[in-house]
Amino acid sequence: MFGILFGWRKASKCKKLIEQALCRLKMLKKKRYSIARQLREDLFELISNGYQQIAFNRVEQLVRDESLMEAYDLIENFCEFILVKFSHVRKNKTCPDDLMEAISSLIFASARCGDFPELKPVRKFFEERYGQRFAMAAVELHPENLVNPQVLESCS
């Protein structure tokens, strides 16, 4: 009876984890931004001093870092969107249509972002809430997955 009146019992824990994930994300973004800025400066120095081949080899790392920063931005936006709409998550046993992409993308990212451990328990909460099939569709990219294409590309 209480579940019907108040919704999902573990909602506050899940919400708290998403808030913690946002804090970690801000830290990861700062760190990655600093690394990318330093790498750009190093590339400029290498090219200025005639070491184009070495610079060319390091460009790949810069592209990976910038792609990861893009993924972090998207994940941050999805976390904030989920928090804004969290009352819908709490009340509905099925994933609301407007949150499917955001939740699927977080579940997908939880399996791909090793430096972001807060997403794993968030994934478990959503898997418990919406079912293992829903979570596996996102992680394993089944045809019915709703993972954002930019997150998919950035995290792969």
In tens, the pLDDT along 114-133 reads: 788 889 999 999 999 999 99
Please give the CATH superfamily to which domain 9-26+68-155 belongs.
Vacuolar protein sorting-associated protein Ist1 (1.20.1260.60)
Neighbours of 22 (CB within 10 A): 16
Distance CA 19, CA 40 (A): 32
Specify whether the CB–CB gap between 65 and 57 falls below 8 A. no
Q: What pTM was computed for the model? A: 0.84
Q: Are 107 and 145 in contact (CB under 8 A)?
A: no
Residue in this structure with the two tokens 């994300």, named with its chain if needed:
25
**pLDDT at site 88:** 86
Helices 100-112 and 52-84, interaxial angle, to 10°?
140
